[in-house]
């Protein structure tokens, strides 16, 4: 029986209580992030900002997936409900793509370009999640889904440095204060000229390709390692030659036998 695609990975460690650590962490982080968005961290107040509610909605879908999967695992019904889990995973990426594309915040310029590239990654994750749900034994679907999720995490980190850390802002661009917020809070990146903006966008495209290349190199090396470890060993050349000689010998001997009437 072919292995099934997993949408989460248990921690196989001696303490059996740590088996569902990934699901517990995702659920806890989603609830924590939801509260931080509603409370407008770091001000800790009910600001009722539309942008914060959009971010919080993304974490709601992630919490629904983690909570349902954890309950299905604890009730030993995950194998029966694997299709439902796949649909919930697809809904996470679908809602993320929907809210990113129709975001209320004005992501323009370089920041908008980074968010557009993020939408490309999320779209691939959505398609891969649907493919893994419909074809649960497909290795390519599982690889694309895993790589796209890792790619999302790496791209979020890259965006954090390039858009919010002044020393990593591209040459010719500056961080401007976010509109309607404290002067100490930095917002989107603003480039001084169209030439600087084009160079910054080109740098973002290169970062996109470099990160993807690094993930694919790591994936390829991992696949090669497991392929050489679990692939069936082929018989040696000497054994094949001896085996072929042994099968040909009776035929040659029969050719010299005399037939009697």
Domain boundaries, the chain: 15-105, 124-229
| Adjacent-strand bridge partners of 189 | 175
Residue 253 CB coordination number (10 Å): 9
Round to whole Å and give the CA distance between 251 and 241. 16
9 pLDDT band, cuts 50/70/90, is confident
Average of per-residue pLDDT across 15-23: 83
Average pLDDT of the residues of the chain: 84
Q: What is the predicted pLDDT for the residue at 182?
A: 44
DSSP for 19-87? TTHHHHHHHHHHHHHHHHHHTTTTT-S----HHHHHHHHHHHHHHHHHHHHHHHHHTT-TTTTHHHHHH
Q: Across the chain, how many H-helices and E-strands are there?
A: 7, 2
Query: Is pLDDT larger for residue 161 or for residue 184?
Result: 161
Burial degree of 250 (CB within 10 A; 0-12, 13-18, 19+)? exposed
- Joined together, the tokens standing for residue 59 give 């974490």
Placement of tokens 């895993």 in the chain: 146
Q: What is the pTM of this model?
A: 0.81
CB 9 within 8 A of CB 146: no
User: What separation, in Å, do the N-terminal and C-terminal C-alpha atoms of the chain show?
Assistant: 57
Three-class secondary structure of residue 190 per DSSP: strand
| pLDDT tens digits, one per residue of 108-153 | 889 999 999 999 999 999 999 999 999 999 999 999 999 999 999 9
> d(Cα 58, Cα 26) in Å, to the nearest integer?
13
**Dist. CA 48–CA 53, nearest whole Å:** 7
Give the lowest-confidence range in 79-93, 97-111, 192-206: 97-111
| DSSP at 5 | P
pLDDT of residue 211: 98
């Amino acid at each position: 029986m072919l292995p099934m695609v997993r949408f989460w990975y248990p921690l196989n460690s001696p303490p059996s209580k740590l088996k569902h650590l990934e699901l517990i962490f995702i659920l806890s982080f989603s609830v924590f992030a939801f509260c931080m968005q509603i409370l407008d961290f770091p001000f800790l107040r009910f600001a009722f900002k539309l942008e914060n509610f959009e971010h919080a909605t993304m974490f709601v879908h992630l919490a629904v997936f983690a909570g349902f999967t954890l309950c299905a695992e604890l009730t030993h019904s995950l194998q029966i409900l694997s299709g439902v889990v796949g649909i919930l995973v697809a809904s996470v990426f679908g809602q993320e793509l929907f809210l990113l594309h129709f975001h209320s915040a004005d992501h323009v310029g370089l920041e908008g370009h980074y968010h557009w590239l993020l939408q490309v990654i999320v779209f691939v994750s959505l398609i891969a999640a649907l493919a893994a749900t419909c074809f649960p034994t497909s290795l390519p679907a599982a690889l694309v889904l895993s790589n796209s999720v890792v790619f999302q995490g790496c791209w979020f980190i890259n965006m954090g440095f390039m858009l919010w850390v002044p020393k990593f802002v591209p040459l010719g661009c500056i961080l401007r204060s976010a509109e309607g917020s404290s002067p100490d809070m930095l917002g989107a990146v603003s480039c001084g000229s169209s030439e600087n903006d084009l160079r910054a966008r080109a740098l973002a495209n290169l970062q996109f390709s470099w990160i993807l290349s690094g993930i694919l190199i790591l994936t390829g090396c991992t696949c090669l390692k497991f392929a050489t470890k679990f692939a069936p060993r082929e018989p040696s050349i000497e054994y094949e030659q001896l085996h072929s000689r042994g099968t040909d010998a009776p035929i040659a001997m029969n050719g010299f036998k005399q037939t009697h009437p």
